[in-house]
Structure 1
Amino acid sequence: MRASVLHPGGTVTVETRAVPAPAPGDVLVRVAAVGVCGSDTHYLRHGRIGEYVVTAPIVLGHEASGRIAAVGEGVPATRIGERVSIEPQRPDPTSAESLRGDYHLCPHMRFFATPPVDGALAEYVTIGAAFAHPVPDSVSDEAAALLEPLSVGIAALRKARIGVGGRVLIAGAGPIGLVCAQVARASGATEIVVTDPDPDRRAAASRFGATRAADAGAAVGAGFDAFVDASGAPAAVLAGIRAVRPAGRIVLVGMGADSMALPVSLIQNRELVLTGVFRYANTWPTAIALAASGAVDLDGMVTGRFGLDGAEDALNADRLSGTIKAVVYPASSERRGEDQREEGRA
């Protein structure tokens, strides 16, 4: 099979590798579509995210969909041919975290495209059968891949506890901010304010769930039930904390500074709940239902399409004005080497 490989130092090559064999309990998936995440571009440009460092060749990509091509021992052969969305996690099922339901926090997790674990920018991958989620025909290959970032939004809004009539402030109108806005709308929120310094992203926020989009730093009001940070910007986090009502909730999602000063007295006096989001657990059934029902629009977020030979261009597509989400098609030969970016869809 062919795979796009990132090497230490930032070089990307397309290589031929052996097709992996599914272990007991696994399925082999022929990959249909892979969304590019900000973490992928960060590994390309900086070679690390925190303690995870690219010290050996690695296949990027963890937002993926495809079709089951083979099954390992213990998996029914009837699953062959299923269209699936991949939940790119391999937790230890016996860890304390997994046993209490927080499997995404398992200290022994092997997560796609996190060094040294290979990801999905390849024609085939294997995953545990329980983490290959069947999707209906009404969900496209692209949307099935983007159920992964949607799951981040679901995890964030669950922690924010936004429901019918809720008011939420979201900082950042990148892909995660946009799915958070859509999940908030689907949850019944009546006021969804999204802030971002980029006018194109603010326009996108208005199309994808925001009731109001404002420039970063602009006055947006106060008394929000929750604040979700999808920017990672310290200034946005501080402004968001101050905009939350007493006993409200603050959810940090965006990757930013390793540390920042926080208004501790304000958090204490208002009894604010501050938490983070690290991936997700038990979100795929909800994500599939939202996408299949049309309550969220994932297909509309795709602004660039690339073959495997164009994976490096896809990883850098965020530098193009109007880009929301680039998608790579590893097993689609007719797209090899072609930049399929669609102008005007952003």
Structure 2
Amino acid sequence: MSNLAAVMPELGRIEIRDLPEPQPGPRDAIVAIEAVGVCGSDTAYFTYGRIGDWVVDGPLILGHEVSGRVVAIGEGVTQVAVGDRVAIEPGTPCRDCEDCLAGRYHLCPRLKFLATPPYDGALVQRVALDERNLFVVPDGMSYEEAALCEPLSVGIWACRRADLRAGERVRVSGAGPVGILAAQVARALGASSVVISDVAEFRLDKARELGFEVEHSGAIGEGPGHEDADVLLECSGAPGVLAQGLWRLRNGGRAAMVGMPKQDVSLPLSRLNVKEISIALVNRYAHTWPTAISLVSSGRVDVSALVTHRFPLEQTQDALTLASRVPDSLKAVVYPQGIPSE
């Protein structure tokens, strides 16, 4: 039986290769990968070969927004069984260091994260994974929805980092998948209002379809006098957007910075100091999958509404280049076992 994978042998090219069948170690499960969402980090590695300190230095399999079906289990596995449908948390920590023991396992210095060099991702038909990274999903949840619990987790963590409280007014800058998901989480957590800003009309239209008030980025200038939010979730990563958003915060406001600009960010801290604003950085997530599954399965968050394109494994390269070829696209999902029929 073949175990096909979409391998990036060099920048800008994908080959479909047949890999050896994975073997489960202790506490491992073999998972047949059913759906893989394409993230901006996948596209960055494919195009540029690096993100910050992580550099591609050999063949790499991409994909970390993942779901699948357990087809075999190794010794000592108790949390999943053959046949379980699972959402997959892509980071495997050491579980023994100071950060892990303090509950900050996402900051583990030995974290092995799917599709982050030198670790392969999940654009493959079957892979061995630690059972502690697998979360069983309800029968009514699709594999697509289960895979998108990963970007949804970023939105959940952003809201937690911003200490979002019910009744507060929220601004979200950036109407990409993570921005729209963060906005949905804020609404589900009881925000009294959520406004999403972006420069792309297609993305603003998608936000409108999901019931959000929208605003064109830069429509209101910087400076005092426009304070209309308690929380800012900055999800664009565009230069200057964080500073613009901070001016919109009221006294004691909190901001979570999800989007990371490629260059240093300049902030007017001496002028913003009088508002005593708190700024939190967001590095992935921790302890979010149960919440993500609950939000999706209950219907409080719609993740599949963001999917604009679907591809079989053989067309992975098309999925990775979608954003550069099709401006009116939002989220691509690759199906390693084949796109399911309706």
Shift of residue 121 of structure 1?
0.4
Q: Does 1:270 align with 2:262?
A: no
Partner of 1:309: 314
CA-based RMSD of the aligned residues comes to 1.7
Q: Does 1:141 align with 2:147?
A: no
Shift of residue 77 of structure 1?
9.0
Partner of 1:60: 62
Aligned match for 1:327, one of 312, 328, 333: 333
State the SS of the aligned residue for 1:200: helix
Partner of 2:214: 213
CA distance in 2, matches of 1:73, 1:91: 20
CA change 1:266–1:26 in 2 (3 A) is farther
Where does structure 1 lack aligned partners over 5 or more consecutive residues? 341-346
Q: Does 1:76 align with 2:81?
A: no
**TM value normalised by structure 1:** 0.93
CA change 1:50–1:186 in 2 (3 A) is same
Q: Does 1:182 align with 2:193?
A: no
Q: Does 1:203 align with 2:180?
A: no
CA distance in 2, matches of 1:326, 1:9: 20
More off after superposition, 282-291 vs 3-12:
3-12
Shift of residue 78 of structure 1?
6.3
Shift of residue 267 of structure 1?
3.7
Q: How does 1:276-315 map to 2 (within 5 A)?
A: 276-315=281-320
CA change 1:8–1:189 in 2 (3 A) is same
Deviations 1:27-80 (A, max 9, x none): 110000000000000111111101111110000000010000111110039611
Shift of residue 318 of structure 1?
1.7
**Paired positions, count:** 335
Deviations 1:106-136 (A, max 9, x none): 0110000000100010001222111100000
Deviations 1:147-185 (A, max 9, x none): 000000000011122232210111100000010110011
Partner of 2:28: 26
CA distance in 2, matches of 1:126, 1:324: 30
Maintained 8 Å contact 1:20/1:125 = yes
Maintained 8 Å contact 1:205/1:213 = yes
CA distance in 1, matches of 2:130, 2:308: 30
Shift of residue 9 of structure 1?
2.8
What amino acid maps onto 1:326 in structure 2? A
Shift of residue 208 of structure 1?
2.9
What amino acid maps onto 2:185 in structure 1? V
Partner of 1:110: 112
Consecutive aligned runs of 4 or more in structure 1 exceeding 6 Å deviation: none
CA change 1:283–1:77 in 2 (3 A) is closer
State the SS of the aligned residue for 1:79: coil
CA change 1:159–1:45 in 2 (3 A) is same
Partner of 1:222: 227
More off after superposition, 280-289 vs 69-78:
69-78
State the SS of the aligned residue for 2:166: coil
Q: Does 1:232 align with 2:237?
A: yes
Maintained 8 Å contact 1:181/1:205 = no
Shift of residue 143 of structure 1?
0.2
